Amino acid sequence: MPPLMSVEEYVALPVAEPDHVIPYGDDAEQFGHLYLPDGDEPHPVIIIVHGGCWRSQYDIYPASGYAQALTEVGAAVWSLEYRRGDKGGEWPHTFADIADGSDHLRTIADRHNLDVSRVMAVGHSAGGLLALWLAGRHKLPQSSPLYSDNPLPIRSVVALGTLTNFVTAYSAGICEGALETLLGGTPETAPDNYHHTSPINLLPLGIPQILITGEADDMLLQAHEYVSVAQEIDDVERIIVPDVGHFELVTPTTQAWPIAREAVSKVLP
């Protein structure tokens, strides 16, 4: 197996400057990067949600390379920054930011020629869970602080190296304590928060979903758990990429990148 890409290499990736930086809220972390493809027709939109265990040291910028690269499939790309657990992202703010950032596409659609009837979500790692959650949040009960009566519909999802279930992630020690801040407690003290934000509990989503995981990625069990449930009731595909770890799928210079790009192209609405 070739050497796997490290987190240090990933966060050192060069920044691809967006066409526009647009706030969707008043906090300094509430903004999106908009990348536009060639052409004048209304563009379908790919929402990108970056990962990083919901910690502030991991931000939007390493994801800029693959955000820009995905415009090659003919879509506009709306890459979201959001408050993370140690930077204003305590429960329920991270999820509220992702929801608000997604819905903000309606506000900017006319100005940037975006077709908000054709929106998909792509996320990596912690962001993969948030992308799947975006697609399922219309199923939240009215009692949830994250309930919305008119969320922007997500038509498909590609989740890369993703988490899918906060309860099993907590039990496995994934993200080393960040979940308690993100979700306002433990699975025992805040069970509804864990339940309503775990995409596995929102199935079926009723849209195409592709989960791609490197064979050497620690998130492999999370993807397997989700697909084992979803494949019986939903439109889900699972791809395992040999000799790939956690970061190659979101780095356009790697041999694994075309697999992610083709998956996005396949389910682009």
pLDDT digits 0-9 by tens, 90-122? 999 999 999 999 999 999 999 999 999 999 999
What are the pLDDT digits (tens) for 135-162? 999 999 999 999 999 999 999 999 999 9
Q: What is the pTM of this model?
A: 0.97
Q: What is the CATH number of domain 7-267?
A: 3.40.50.1820
Give the pLDDT band (50/70/90) at residue 10.
very high
What are the pLDDT digits (tens) for 253-268? 999 999 999 999 999 9
**Alpha-carbon gap, residue 94 to 82, rounded angstroms:** 6
pLDDT of 136 reads 98
Q: Is pLDDT at 177 greater than 90 in this prediction?
A: no
What are the pLDDT digits (tens) for 221-249? 999 999 999 999 999 999 999 999 999 99
Q: Is pLDDT at 197 greater than 90 in this prediction?
A: yes
What are the pLDDT digits (tens) for 18-62? 999 999 999 999 999 999 999 988 999 999 999 999 999 999 999
Give the pLDDT band (50/70/90) at residue 2.
confident
